[in-house]
Structure 1
């Protein structure tokens, strides 16, 4: 019978970690221990056990505590593996503790692989709250976009310094479209020497507008509607008149790299332009008085539906704030290209992929709002309004979704065009492969975090029933 004292010690991963902590390659460590590099390689790959003589050489050469070096590995790995196999996903298999310990002690590479897979599974279970991180995008772009979203979310999508400066600038331009539009162009020309010129189709290749820095000329394509032209002029005015405020905000944010910094600067310029065209106090007053009537907001400020929707999310000034709103932009294929929320609403962070929501109906009735009352997995309810946006030159149609917690439904009747929201809430989740709602009859895929529970003797309502954990 093999006793505990006779058990062979396979501590390859521990030996490899020690070598890397010391900053040595295999040849250097082998030379210091007086063994061949091939023998050391066998030890690290657990193809040879670590003998008592080798343990003494390690202790004498690198001044390590042999007891800690030997005892820590199997105990830690065994404990971690035990928690993995106690998970509800595999608990019913009934893997004996001694089997788990044998794997931990004798197959540390396998143990590490299992732990990595389990950590990935844990991440998937948390995915409804972090679904944006799972979208398929280039890694660098995803990191930059996610950083920007996190930064703006931390500020509740309100940048007070830029907003205050933009509001003061808007006051100089005058109230109303008839005064503001020519005043913006005049200010660009008189203060900054920049002329605005509408050019014929074909002059601007693959662009709707272009700023000629050398000739100090902003060229706008004749294909642009008046709303888009106004915003392009506001962008150039923001870059000229609010340059110091924008630069200070960029420096304060501390973007991690040049790519993120450029993305941040572009977002802040757009924010400033929106704040000029839709001054905070004036825009909030009209929104509240009209119960968030989007048609009135569009007409009063000469903006698009998307511009007005995104501005609503930024109205979070502590002394004067709107209903807490969220906004999403979804393309024809169902991909979410924009998410903004002033209060971290689940729907804005993780929604958009559930077929039960029914927002795709908006594409079949362009211009008409599709109102719904939905319930998130945590039980919170939201009133949402989806509206299709007609295609623009070179762009496919998209959809804007606006919403707020249902407790504010009475304040947004101008947005929903209903005296009261629906009574019955639609339970929604993230995309099917991430959703753990049980009994969903519209499920297209089973959740990757659960085990299917199929039976030959019963046919449940859901096509992919799974076990509760």
Structure 2
């Protein structure tokens, strides 16, 4: 199990200044040395759990806000913004970003706000407008690192209660909805619900479900509905706390929370984490053990950030055949691959459609040296029919990834050396400076293209190095 260290120097410094204390005075109150406090404030030492508790008791603040209190969202969020093609020629590495945050946190926060305000790539991936409802909802999800502790705890308690009423989760959910909420479940044929997967008919007191849905998707639909009835208070509190000015963004956020709750009912946190660690995060085994689909397991893997019981920090990216991103979940990974406007065709995420149902495992290395082990598989859209005159199936490819340092804990990556060979990839051709890539489709932004009559290299898109 990954146990991430908490570096919260900027939040500690702001807390100290807000209370009007010098480093020496705060250190004395916390029974530590001023030099140690200075190292914590400069993010050269992690914040120990005992000291975090002491600060919470002494200064009456909520420690859950420490992670999101960093300037610009922290080093990884700043690096995602710097992945914009506008900065491609600067080659700013992670150490420079960390030094910048330590030396001038106010300047880093000002840069982040200005960049987001003008709708830069880091603030609005893929050219999406900065006020787009989907982006606003996802920012709130990322602020929580896609872990909602109260919802998880409630879903876990509910799952345990349902287990006592019977081993069949679907049957237990049907009975719960009938007895407690007066809702019956009706499975309707495609002819009756040609364009819907589920519908709540309050007049008939029915939750109507299309026969298109597979068993795992039917269970999810019931748990989703139950969340809307029994977790309404928690969902309302989270939505109010987000402070959305845009109604559609709030609704999207609420839908995500209900989906989160449904996944947590199907895969209760403690049991799911134990299964992950025992199986080496073997996704096919997890699917069978919890009666869930690949999509559902993949999303659940991005949520394992319970304090004191953390799982591996996965990210998720879902694309269609055209390479358009349908879903981004960064979790606690800090992966720039999630936020990037472009993607690299050398990443096997784009090859997953060629071998349906097969899990593609790949070690990739970005230009800054960061390495990720990625798992990719194609998957049909839930309940999706074939579309178009030639009956093309509706499908997506889902990419899961975790930092290479965690490769030893993955069943799918057996035998892969985290320091061994890796596929060099970029964040899309316009943001990539790899000159020797035969797959390049465009020169980097801000670099002049070189055209020569007497020779032709592996790539037709040669560009000036400086």
Length-normalised TM-score, structure 1 = 0.68
Counterpart of 1:236?
A: 225
1:322-370 Cα deviation digits (max 9, x unpaired): 1111111111222111111122211222276211223333212111111
Runs of 4+ in 1 over 6 A off after TM superposition: none
TM alignment of 1:337-356, pairs within 5 A: 337-342=326-331, 343-350=333-340, 353-356=343-346
SS of the aligned residue for 1:386 comes to strand
Counterpart of 1:431?
A: 428
Contact 1:347–1:376 (CA<8 Å) still a contact in 2?
A: no
Instruction: State how far apart, in whole Å, the 1-side matches of 2:447 and 2:254 are.
Output: 42
Question: Gapped runs of 5+ residues in structure 2?
Answer: 1-86, 90-113, 386-392
Counterpart of 1:186?
A: 175
Counterpart of 1:320?
A: 309
Counterpart of 1:272?
A: 261
Instruction: State how far apart, in whole Å, the 1-side matches of 2:88 and 2:376 are.
Output: 39
1:383 aligns with 2:380: no
Between structure 1 and structure 2, the one with the greater Rg is: 1
Contact 2:366–2:425 (CA<8 Å) still a contact in 1?
A: yes
- Within the candidate set 268, 273, 278, 1:289 is matched to 278
Counterpart of 1:45?
A: none
Residues 458, 444 of structure 1: alpha-carbon distance in 2 compared, 3 angstrom cutoff:
same
SS of the aligned residue for 2:328 comes to strand
Counterpart of 1:248?
A: 237
- Shift of residue 175, structure 1, vs aligned partner: 6.9
Range moving further from structure 2, 331-340 or 177-186: 177-186
Residues 307, 177 of structure 1: alpha-carbon distance in 2 compared, 3 angstrom cutoff:
farther
1:368 aligns with 2:358: yes
- Give the structure, 1 or 2, with the largest relative contact order (CA under 8 Å, sep 6 or more): 2
1:134 aligns with 2:130: no
1:106-134 Cα deviation digits (max 9, x unpaired): xxxxxxxxxxxxx99xx89x74x557141
Instruction: State how far apart, in whole Å, the 2-side matches of 1:144 and 1:306 are.
Output: 23
Residues 292, 374 of structure 1: alpha-carbon distance in 2 compared, 3 angstrom cutoff:
same
Counterpart of 1:30?
A: none
CA-atom RMSD, angstroms? 2.6
Contact 1:198–1:220 (CA<8 Å) still a contact in 2?
A: yes
SS of the aligned residue for 2:132 comes to helix
Range moving further from structure 2, 337-346 or 186-195: 337-346
Length-normalised TM-score, structure 2 = 0.69
Between Structure 1 and Structure 2, the one with more helix by share is 1
Question: Gapped runs of 5+ residues in structure 1?
Answer: 1-86, 90-118
Counterpart of 1:329?
A: 318
1:398 aligns with 2:396: yes
TM alignment of 1:9-408, pairs within 5 A: 127=121, 129=122, 132-135=125-128, 139=129, 143-174=132-163, 178-342=167-331, 343-350=333-340, 353-390=343-380, 392-394=383-385, 396-408=394-406
Counterpart of 1:463?
A: 460
Counterpart of 1:80?
A: none
